[in-house]
Structure 1
């Protein structure tokens, strides 16, 4: 298949995304107000808690088996590599452009985290069903392509809510500490005596517990102190780690999908037209199919915020776009092709295409949610996403064309 035909196949999914995104932006306009802020928030909750886990779980359950897990082990590593390289390039971008401290986490997160969930699902779904697709029969391509994309979504969600979430959180904490340093200094001066009295009383209360009773052994006292420290560490870990976000519904859906797929007895009950409870799988697939158009509409509505502008510097936007659309895809080609050369990745062209595509995606839409949680660069994030997704139509078409030519 020639480059011109591949370009036509690659451009169709991107055009579909643009059309639905434009519709979402239109519905979110003030004078239309069908997809306003409140509507998007409620709809996003339905997608987050219902559509996404149904999509991920049903696709993984249908295609993942014990045998296929051995073939897909490289994908989690590949996604981790995209985050590591993106973070390093984002850190260099902060140093070169001397970006504001409150934007440091946003810049690094934008370079590290790509839209590993919905965009691959949209693109692969459209590519597989497009006439002249280089990946074989449409139904086979769609079945396995959705499994690869669903696995990408689940792994990406884990990395975003553990890695990027904490990068933005730490960056926002530093800003809050710098802003509050004067207030804390004055408060310390005014409450110095009270603090001394308080600590003195605490010392008196704690002292008896540290006194060794007659006949008690020193090692018993050490064990008690170690146990107390361990409890304090666990409380601090649970408080600082966003376990609720880590176990997001998409991740839970992936876990359920893996259990159904790899346990033969459960698989026979749910998967296949003759399975006794195949209606459960069919219902989950029906719900999951609603995720793709719904999320695309929400993205279109959210991008309207970027038109309002912010104080972000143009070099930062250009740098983030260069990292996501130039440096990462080029490095991804060497990494994936090297893995194929050394036999780390199996020979399925569709699987290799998904691995390459993970390096060429725009920043994750979840960045908007994360910055909103911490109030660190929310308006700047909207501008970054607006420009990144506006240029994604060109970048994704070009890189998808090249990746198809490379793997086929």
Structure 2
């Protein structure tokens, strides 16, 4: 396939996302006022508790069997590696740019957590529908695209609410402790952003401790401070149900297929799930509008996040996925799966970060500005990287 043809195939789905996002921004304007803050909050709750879980459960139940699950085992590792590399790059960005203390957790989070759900669910099925798509028959491609993207959303949600959530939370708690210390004594207490530091991992006395003891102490400290209850979000529970239905043969025969006695349940869930994509995109546009009203943030911080998410991470992703193909950890004949693995390294920041900053009251307006610029530039970078990834798999 020629470059121009690939560029057209990759750009049209991104254009569709931009159009629906523009609708969300229009509805959020004060003169229109159909998607004000209260309306967005209610819609977010409906998506979080109803639409997204329905989409995940229905698509996984219909497409994931025990045999197919064995071929998808690399996806959780791929997303975890993307999160870890992003967090390391975010930490380096904090060290280089030296932003205000209350933004440290937000910067690391935006570099680490990519939008593993909405964009793959929108983009990949849309690419399947384009003329000249390299992924075969439209109906088969779209079915598996939704399945792979739903799995990506579920896994990404687990990592976001277990790893990134706790980084942002502990950063916010550090700020709160410093304010309390200043109010009580007038002298701020300096503490590390992450729960494992040199002071924590080294013995207070002159005795030397082994590396294994240090690592064990760091892990125990993180687990002690981390709030792991948020891992079991509705999307995670829906993924568990979807896997159970798809992989356990008696349940699958009971609920999947037109002849199944309970197929109306999965069909209803699928119908609810179809609403998730347009509603999520409209909410995204409404949230991005708030970035125009956000307070200022250092330009070098925004540039650093853009370079991390749209240049460095995709380059790392190509090396990692290519290495996995060489080691035969990923089936090379499944072009759609390989394309998604590559695409997971070029996503804009997860919109859940906006929810986290609202929850902890640290960097809320700055988060809106970061989201505005990263999502505005996503139209360019996603098109270019999608074109290059399509060239790689074809």
With the length of structure 2 as denominator, give the TM-score of the two structures.
0.89
Aligned length: 359
Cα distance in 1, alignment partners of residues 182 and 51 from structure 2: 47
User: What secondary structure sits across from 1:168 in the alignment?
Assistant: helix
Cα distance per residue 1:174-226 (max 9 Å; x no partner): 1111111133349xxxxxxxxxxxxxxxxxxxxxxxxxxxxxxxxxxxxxxxx
Match for residue 360 of structure 2?
374
Gaps of 5+ in 1: 187-233
Q: How does 1:356-367 map to 2 (within 5 A)?
A: 356-367=342-353
Aligned to 1:313: 298
Alignment of 1:331 with 2:331, yes or no, is: no
1:266 aligns with 2:251: yes
Distance in structure 2 (CA, Å) of the matches to 1:305 and 1:238: 35
Partner residue in 1 for 2:159? 159
Question: Is 1:291 equivalent to 2:279 in the alignment?
Answer: no
TM-score by length of 1: 0.86
Which region of structure 1 is more displaced relative to structure 2, 167-176 or 154-163? 167-176
Q: Distance in 2 between matches of 1:176 and 1:45?
A: 28
Partner of 2:370 in structure 1? 384
Q: Shift of residue 309 of structure 1?
A: 3.1
Indicate the structure (1 or 2) with the bigger Cα radius of gyration: 1
How far apart, CA to CA, are the structure 1 residues paired with 2:327 and 2:296? 47
2:151 and 2:287 map into 1 onto residues whose CA distance is: 25
**RMSD between aligned residues:** 1.4
Structure 2 residue aligned with 1:45? 45
Structure 1 window deviating more from structure 2 (286-295 vs 93-102): it is: 93-102
Distance 1:237 1:392, change over 3 A: closer
Q: How big is each residue's C-alpha offset from its partner over 1:128-149, in whole Å with a ceiling of 9 and x where there is no partner?
A: 1112211000011011111110
| In 2, Cα distance between equivalents of 1:78 and 1:49 | 26
Determine the structure 1 residue equivalent to 2:77: 77
Matching residue within 195, 212, 231 for 1:246:
231
Q: Give how far 1:238 is off.
A: 8.5
Q: Distance in 1 between matches of 2:303 and 2:224?
A: 38
The 2-side partners of 1:176 and 1:92 are apart by 24
Question: Aligned partners of 2:300, 2:226: CA distance in 1, in Å?
Answer: 33
Question: 1:326 & 1:237 partners in 2: Cα distance?
Answer: 32
Aligned counterparts, 1:119-134, within 5 A: 119-134=119-134
2:72 is the alignment partner of 1:86? no
When structure 1 is superposed on structure 2, of 167-176 and 355-364 the one drifting more is: 167-176
Tell me the distance in 2 between the aligned counterparts of 1:320 and 1:110: 7
Change (3 A) 1:330 1:240: closer
* Structure 1 residues 109 and 69: CA distance shift in structure 2, 3 A: same
Query: How far did 1:118 drift?
Result: 0.7
How far apart are the structure 2 equivalents of 1:241 and 1:96? 29
CA distance in 2, matches of 1:322, 1:175: 27
Q: Distance in 1 between matches of 2:105 and 2:5?
A: 41
The alignment status of 1:176 with 2:183, answered yes or no, reads: no
Consecutive unaligned residues in structure 2, runs of 5 or more: 187-219
Distance in 2 between residues matched to 1:183 and 1:281, nearest whole Å: 56
Moved over 2 A (4+): 182-186, 236-240
Equivalent residue, structure 2, for 1:96: 96
Moved more, 389-398 or 274-283: 274-283
The reply on whether 1:301 has 2:289 as its aligned counterpart is no
Question: How far apart, in 2, do the equivalents of 1:72 and 1:121 lie?
Answer: 17
Q: 1:394 aligns to what? A: 380
